[in-house]
């Protein structure tokens, strides 16, 4: 079982209209990652947003303002005293008409200035004057990020309601490896979409454990039993949870998806490994979302060496049941008498979807089941959308229309949050920023 620290994830830019006609301001500060602001600006424009860029003087040493102007179609502000007047339209300033402001990259310097109330250039001034949500995407050397002064400033800004995405771990410009990389554009966009959707950091104070992907049950060192799960749904849930402020742990079977920024990931292969990881991680969790496609059966006696094609044993592989992870969590919850852990399961069905999902919910002792018919177009495996029905212990099932898996994730977490508040555990944070 491998444990990975928070890292960058890649997801397809969603096909929803969250960003269409929204005004996004990108504040670019003077770090080596400043050139990556071009990619972020380009993706936001492609999503239909009206993008404006404000740069510090040092940022212009790393990336040309003309490049960003060409990408956005808007003038780039570099000084409080010249181009800023181009943003005055009908006496409404840019800070008043912005839907979201993102600082990418956010250096140690800009984080420190804003935390201490210093506004001595165009970037620090518009951040200080912003009426819209502000997202910081830090990028700096590991030692600078770990500096206790930086951490104190970050903590102060978070307390004041500013959001942070990243930094990630990986190779650094200095040639070393560590935390300090700018989060990928897609991850930053996910946080922007979360803000624009009106969802605050309502999961702050909660610990959320999510499973994702398939499991692989070995027959021998080169063959295994598995399923077509890609992990997109589970990873979307983890991404949504961390964007909403939760301490998030992702336990993932084999996928091609890196974990989202800010999410700790435990990598597993088999159902047994996932079972052990979940039972350990969920001991102090508030919410468990079982989105993984865990194998129901595994070969009873896996061979330590490759079985030859003509070996008779290949025609008769004896199977045994794997541990039922979520049912085991429910049993432990029931035996302990502590019902603060909310349990959400996923049920992939091909017929009588709601009936089968409700039966599983009751039998396993869950709080919510997310059911989908994998035979429907746009649902199931290897697609970016899903069509689900939310099945509760009480009340009628809620059928959701086809939507991006990231939107499904938020709807599931909305339901889970209501259950968390009923359970009385975890956060006492307000529902929005």
Please report whether residue 53 resides in a domain: yes
Residue 12 domain-assigned (yes or no): no
Q: What pLDDT score was predicted for residue 403?
A: 87
pLDDT at 261 over 60: yes
Q: What does each C-alpha distance from 174 to 8, 33, 34, 146, 203 come to in angstroms?
A: 19, 12, 15, 16, 35
What confidence score (pLDDT) does residue 414 get?
93
Give yes or no: residues 110 and 186 share one domain. Answer: yes
Residue predicted with more confidence, 11 or 99: 99
Distance between first and last Cα of the chain: 37
Question: Are both 319 and 242 inside the same structural domain?
Answer: yes
To the query of whether residue 227 is one of the catalytic residues in this protein, the response is yes
Looking at per-residue pLDDT, the higher value among 243 and 268 belongs to: 268
For residue 141, what is the domain's CATH number?
3.40.50.1950
Query: Does residue 275 fall inside a structural domain?
Result: yes
Q: In what order do the strands lie in the sheet with 264-267?
A: 2-4, 264-267, 247-252, 207-212, 287-290, 342-349, 368-373, 388-392, 398-399
Write out pLDDT tens, residues 351-408. Answer: 888 888 888 999 999 999 999 888 787 777 878 788 899 998 877 889 999 888 888 9
- 288-314, pLDDT tens digit by residue? 999 999 999 989 888 888 888 777 666
Least confident of 70-74, 149-153, 272-276: 70-74
Rounded to an integer, the average pLDDT of 326-345 is 90
Catalytic residue chosen out of the listed positions 16, 58, 147, 227: 227
Question: How confident is the model at residue 170, as a pLDDT?
Answer: 75
Residues 312 and 261 in one domain: yes
- Range of the structural domain that residue 157 is part of: 17-196
pLDDT of res. 247: 92
Could you tell me if 190 and 234 lie in one domain? no
What is the structure's pLDDT at 2?
56
Model confidence at 16, in pLDDT bands (50, 70, 90)? very low
Looking at the structure, tell me whether residues 232 and 153 fall in a common domain.
no
**What integer pLDDT is reported at residue 90 of this predicted model?**
32
Whether residue 159 is contained in a domain is answered as yes
| Domain termination site, one of 196, 215, 242 | 196
Does residue 433 lie in a domain region?
Answer: no
- Looking at residue 233, what is its pLDDT? 93
Q: Is residue 249 part of a domain?
A: yes
- The pTM of the whole model exceeds 0.85: no
Last residue of a domain, one of 172, 196, 220: 196
Average pLDDT for the chain: 85
Q: Is pLDDT at 198 greater than 80 in this prediction? A: no
Tell me how many domains the chain contains. 2
Residue 431 lies in a domain: no
User: Strands 388-392 and 368-373, how do they pair?
Assistant: antiparallel
- pLDDT tier, 91 (very low <50, low <70, confident <90, very high otherwise): very low
pLDDT in the model for residue 209: 97
The residue ranking higher by pLDDT, 98 or 214, is: 214
- Among 85-99, 101-115, 251-265, 330-344, the range scoring the smallest mean pLDDT is 85-99
């Amino acid at each position: 079982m491998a444990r990975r620290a928070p890292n960058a994830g890649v997801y397809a830019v969603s096909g929803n209209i969250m960003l269409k006609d929204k005004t996004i301001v990108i504040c670019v500060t003077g770090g080596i990652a400043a050139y990556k602001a071009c990619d972020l600006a380009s993706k936001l424009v492609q999503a239909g947003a009206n993008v404006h860029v404000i740069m510090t003087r040092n940022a212009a040493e790393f990336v040309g303002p003309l490049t960003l102007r060409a990408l956005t179609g808007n003038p780039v502000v570099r000084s409080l005293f010249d181009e800023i007047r181009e943003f005055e339209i009908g006496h409404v300033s840019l800070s008043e008409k912005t839907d979201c402001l993102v600082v990418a990259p956010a250096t140690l310097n800009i984080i420190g200035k804003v935390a201490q109330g210093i506004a001595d250039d165009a970037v620090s001034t518009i951040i200080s004057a912003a009426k819209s949500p502000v997202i910081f995407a830090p990028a700096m050397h590991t030692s600078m990020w770990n500096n206790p002064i930086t951490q104190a400033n970050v903590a102060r800004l978070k307390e004041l309601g500013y959001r942070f995405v990243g930094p990630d771990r990986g190779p650094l410009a200095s040639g070393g490896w560590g935390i300090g990389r700018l989060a990928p554009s897609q991850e930053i966009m996910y946080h922007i979409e979360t803000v624009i959707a009106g969802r605050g950091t309502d999961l702050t104070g909660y610990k959320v454990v999510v499973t994702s992907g398939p499991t692989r049950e070995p027959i021998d060192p080169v063959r295994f039993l598995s399923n077509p799960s890609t992990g997109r749904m589970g990873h979307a849930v983890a991404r949504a949870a961390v964007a909403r402020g939760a301490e998030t742990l992702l336990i993932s079977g084999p996928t091609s998806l890196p974990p989202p920024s800010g999410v700790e990931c435990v990598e597993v292969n088999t159902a047994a490994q996932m079972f052990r990881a979940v039972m350990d991680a969920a001991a102090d969790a508030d919410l468990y979302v079982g989105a993984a496609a865990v194998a129901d059966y595994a070969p009873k006696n896996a061979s330590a060496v490759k079985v030859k094609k003509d070996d008779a044993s290949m025609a008769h592989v004896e199977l045994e049941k794997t541990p039922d992870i979520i049912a085991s969590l429910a049993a432990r919850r029931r035996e302990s008498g502590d019902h603060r852990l909310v349990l959400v399961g996923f049920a992939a069905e091909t017929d009588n979807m709601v009936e089968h999902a409700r039966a599983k919910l009751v039998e396993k002792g869950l709080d919510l089941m997310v059911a989908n018919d994998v035979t429907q177009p746009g649902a199931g495996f290897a697609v970016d959308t899903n069509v689900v029905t939310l099945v509760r212990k009480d009340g009628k099932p809620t059928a959701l229309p086809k939507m991006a898996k990231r939107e499904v994730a938020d709807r599931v977490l909305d339901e889970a949050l209501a259950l968390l508040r009923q359970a009385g555990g975890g956060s006492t944070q307000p529902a929005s920023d």
